[in-house]
Structure 1
């Protein structure tokens, strides 16, 4: 009976022994306990304790099994339970903790439900007890606890409340409110039975009457009141699910058997054994299918855990509404594989094709709730309930029927392989027909008179020559247009407007773009002029980069003219006297006109290098570094120039993003300076724009780079520092 690997883990070996023993009992066998104890002496103590507990519980359950064969149908309290009937009055048949067991009312895959009395509070409850076999399976035990935990944290008028959870002598149980009534599964079964009988309606009556009787109306004679009652019941379930979803609980096993109707006509949601809670580590592995196949959503059927969310409950409730309306499941097949295939790949029959008496609004609501794709369903259970309330209020529902285009698109998504094969076949057929047509035409031409063939050949040759000439002319025109555009880049870079420090970066960018275009033109056409321009522009860009660095040096040193800067870096009067000649030369350079051929600006590199040496002789290292920090605090394109960006060790993605931000600001600077009457008039707007630009660049940096940048900028200067401009007049 029991097989065990002596080299396996002791806990796994003991679990295997106990499971084999219980399964043998359930098959009607009587395993020899003494032989088990002798065969596994290392587990003798655990086995003896298990046998003793088993005997005690068997004595408690024995009277229950006697009464389980007959009785009246009572309220079901669990999914997957078989109703028991008992015509006798419940009597005490045992006790578990504070609960006196009265009778068994249902039995499911993991446990047994009893009608019981809670002694301390003298109230009738439903007590769910975990079966022995399930208690030995860690997953079943965890699911039992999961059901109790999920239900216990839900407090809603349409969710069965949990009163207590506990363990008594290794018996796991929890107590719930006892519901007098029946499940929707039994209601559907009764309606199917009554379908062949004639009688008065039941669900169309008020809530105080029984939900269904033996004389239920024929299916064909169901009126609008019946469908309104069905919509009201499903709306109550949707509101309960919305509450559960809001607190992070997904039921994952909504079906008629788990929806109860009490004698007052109120619906209750029960059995949270497969529920998934927020931050749940998971009782379901990827690829494992959980739930009841007839009512599970397509995403449940394929076992993709990552895509199963609260919308799976919306599908299952929609499938339940479908069955309540039509008295048939969405997909009425018995084979499990065929059912899962239809769930994923087939569209359900519209309910009105089964029964024309179903209101069109309810059909539209059902079809939206059971849509294949979760995104096509109601986004929340509350939206589902709201549409049902609109039906009850005789107002238009928000759901809309899918159009022919929608249905076609969904069909294509579900049958991608078939569509690809069909498209391939169509393409092959088209190519074959084209080839056949070409062969027939060629044979016909071959059969024509030789003279006509020669004339046609000459005509075709003439047309090809004309087409070739037209393509050549078009290529020449495109080439010339491209050349003119690139030359315009070069001409723009030579404009006097760009001979201004904040716009030198834009000038460099224009020339670099011209290099890229010239490079492409030189590769596509052997044009000596293009190659000469390419080398010229490369040299110009290199010089501009050098000049830009020199201009930044000059601008940095000119900050020493400002009293705020002198005070911040701690310049003494002696140091100021020593720096005065150097600053005078730089000031003369700053005030020179860039349009004069003999301007000192042609010697910017030499001027900057000489001035830098003289300043470094006067300033201490810390003063010189602080001067650079102050220069980076002035808003402008120089703040994140090439040296600063190289020091921050940027990634390629950051470089691209920062380059885009700087390009936008450079072109904005061009528009600003070209439209301003004077540079000084637009200076505040210019600085404000670059301050915002630099803030955007800082947002691109990661924390470590921001820390590095904070060190490069240093503490802010106590006072206003102005950027040393070339001139106060507008460029000509």
Structure 2
């Protein structure tokens, strides 16, 4: 069984036998632990080696090694009791060391591995490395030997499971929903020990800290593991973490058994220096990288880089730009993410200097102390970005980014620039002003405008602006009485607030707006006639008002927006020909009009929106060669159209939406790189498509929606941190789903299901990222409704009811939290109609009319819902026939009475009585016919 006359079969030209051996071992380990599909996936990720691996496996099968599952019952002084597990290199048995009566874990080299050159040496190296180490986090080796040509080592028997097994057991879970007890359950812990207490993040940090302590012990004794990965870390039910398998370990000063350029280790957990095959560079910090990847995977339940091929995976590792931990798991705090990413730094010099340092920062997070790690500065991140995207870097360095003194390439001067700023800040008066101007040019202006349309740089923009704000605060400490410094600091607060708002960081945005306004108020008090101060205060009040409105805090929002309008009216009177002052005033009229849409004063809302449009048209005509004054026209056309659509004036709404689309198409043709124009066009095209669909113009609706979908899918890829873009993408897929159900083409139902499913998937991510924003939750509820409708059309009734149930859960919560929002109440009624809950629908309809007694629209809507209740009651087979008839009549009478109230409160277009299909159940009623007759002369 253990003959040694065979050797490794022939390989493909130029292939490294060590790497082939490693891949064969990894294949066998995956085959045993995760099944055939996972093992075959390894071959797909290594296409260049797949044929050689298959040939080696076939040779082993033909020689009978892969089928040789039987091992001797005794091996020297050990009696084998049963198999515990195994991997590609070895098999572990529970055994009794009879002379001592000690139960041990006995690891034997797999017979097939004896055919590979270096296998014995690797097995011996594991034993030698482990024997040098005595630590609670490293399984002690009792004895090493060879019996009948079969090497073995006896170790402490430890009960538990590997982190790879833990991750597999949790692969279908959402990381943000896990807690420490989930880890306890995964490892089969009888009780919740300290390591398993608290949050999931805390449990992960405790676990990895133990592993870091074990690595620190190994490193201080000159042993580098070189293969830190989840399957080599075990956690016991008692909460003990153990580092396993030192088969690839390298002792300091020891011989290297791998060839130059080969890559010992498991690729997904290899450091960049290992991937490059730089054997001399592999050291303790390489182990820290692997442990950082393990921590990332624990926090997110996904590896940082998931690629289809090994070549793509190598490229991703070398690029060193993993998706943010907090995007995959919002429960992870900023400092916790920083610790993880510092361990995973692509540059070894920027990682933790030692496992002890790593472990100390893990402890700092757990103890809520300040961490020692620091993220790469904005300049370093920009340099890395230029290395990954040289074409874009050329564009930036050739004129987009401007420094003091001329068009120098922005990213290439980061270290010298920082030193120059720090030095000049400490000099005399003239040098102080020069440094101040440098901050404005290098950080603030670049961060606010130059990088705004560059894909993937939202976080960098935020960091640049935060650095600028930090400089301004320092300047303010030195020059607290200097109005120029105070004014620029206020502006810096505004810039930071806008980026926070764009990234969905609403609490930080609100605080920054208030901080900026506090500085401006003191400036205005000292110089009330200074127009720039009032202009900036108007801008911050306006932006704060729109933020508060988006959060559903309407009274506060109105207060801020009215303050902004008052400030801007003063400026427009002082500067009647200034296009910027007039544009800002128009924006204030528009924003107040948008807010008034949700109040009874709809006429004032329309008046404000039309006033904004009129002012901006005058500005655009007076400035024909300045396209920046045409862009607001698109916004104002769009917002007016939203109001018109809300009032059922679909043709007028479609015309305004089309005007918004036309303006933005024209501007985008001249500036195709402008992401804000792309986003604005997508939003208007979406609204146009929805309006055309409602009017029955399905062909033009589909064209507009497909335009929006194409723009948004690319924008979401380029600007992954932009929550508003993902929200619009979900709404677009929702609209496409509804449109598909109106089509009679083959496959329409499947198309509707696909779009609705995608809408829910995207919007759930949006809500998880910004749970405080009610409008996003409303969109999610609406997406669930669309999914339910698509499922019902496909005959999947049970799934449809579940989707409607999810929608109801969101709408009920929104109505409870925002009782003055009529839209949420109307939407709740719509879903209740879909679920045929006529009793609850009738109650919700009465509450809608009762909450807004002065609004004829809501009386009309409530009447329509009660008319639908009449239809539902008439068809409710759970009621007795007489009860069905009586209840249907009751609902119908209540509906007619509410329609009468709507007329009394000013319903301007009673002709809609004839065309509204929701009122069909009322048409045979005498009181309804009488109402129609009395309304006709109107």
TM-score (norm 2): 0.35
Higher relative contact order (CA 8 A, sep 6+): 1
TM-score (norm 1): 0.44
- Structure with max Cα Rg: 1
